[in-house]
Structure 1
C-alpha cells in the first residue's frame, strides 16, 4: 500500500525558513537519499493565512511519496542522517513527521 510521509514545519513567531535553499538543495537531497528506498516523488506546500487572516500553525508542508510503510523506516534509518542533518541549513525549527496510508487518491 502506498504511503505518504508528511513533514510539517512550525510557524512560530521566531521561526525562520529559507524556501529557496529548501527547494534548490534540501528536497533534491531528500530525493537522492530516499529515492533508492522507494520514495517516488514529493510535493511542497507553503501555507497562507486563513480567510479570516489567522496565521497557520505550520508554514510549510512536504509530502514524500513512498511505495510502502517499511520503505519510510528503512530510508530514515539507512539514509536519514544527511537529510535530517541538513534541516538547520534552512530552518531553526524541528519538523513534525506523520506517516499515513493512502486510502484514496484521485490525483
Structure 2
C-alpha cells in the first residue's frame, strides 16, 4: 500500500481554508480517483513540537492506493481539475507531493 501526501508549508500570514479543503477539495479528489482510492485523510498542523511554535506544515492531505501506478492512472486525468481548485483554498501554491510506502499499520 502507498500513501500520497500533499504537504502545504506553513507561511506566516498565509491563507489556507481548512474547511474548504476538507469539505470540498478532498471529496472532489476522492470522487475523481474512484474505486482505486482506498482511503483519505487530512492532517492540520498545530505546532513544531514546543508549544507556541508554528507548524512546518499548515495541512497535509493523504490518499491511500494499492500502488503508485494506481495513483498515476487516476491522477493524470484528474490533475487539471484538482490543480484549478487550489486557489479556492490556499494562496500558497500546489504543495509538495510525497509518495511513500506504508510498512506498518495498526
Same fold judged by TM-score > 0.5? yes
Task: Write out aligned runs for 1:1-107 (5 A).
Answer: 2-36=1-35, 38-49=36-47, 50-94=49-93, 95-106=95-106
In structure 2, stretches of 5+ residues that fail to align are none
| CA deviation after TM superposition for structure 1 residue 53, in Å | 2.1
Any gaps of 5 or more consecutive residues in structure 1?
none
Quote the Cα distance in structure 1 between the aligned partners of 2:19 and 2:78.
23
Do the aligned residues in 2 keep the contact of 1:33 with 1:80 (CA within 8 Å)?
Answer: no
How big is the alpha-carbon RMSD for the aligned residues of Structure 1 and Structure 2?
Answer: 1.3
The two structures have a TM-score, normalised by structure 2, of 0.89
1:12-63 CA-to-partner distances (Å, cap 9, x unmatched) read: 1132011121112111101001124x11110111111233422111100111
* Structure 1 segments of 4+ aligned residues over 4 angstroms from their partners: none
Question: Whole-Å Cα distance in 2 between the matches of residues 83 and 30 of structure 1?
Answer: 7
Q: Return the alpha-carbon distance in structure 1 between the equivalents of residues 32 and 96 of structure 2.
A: 19
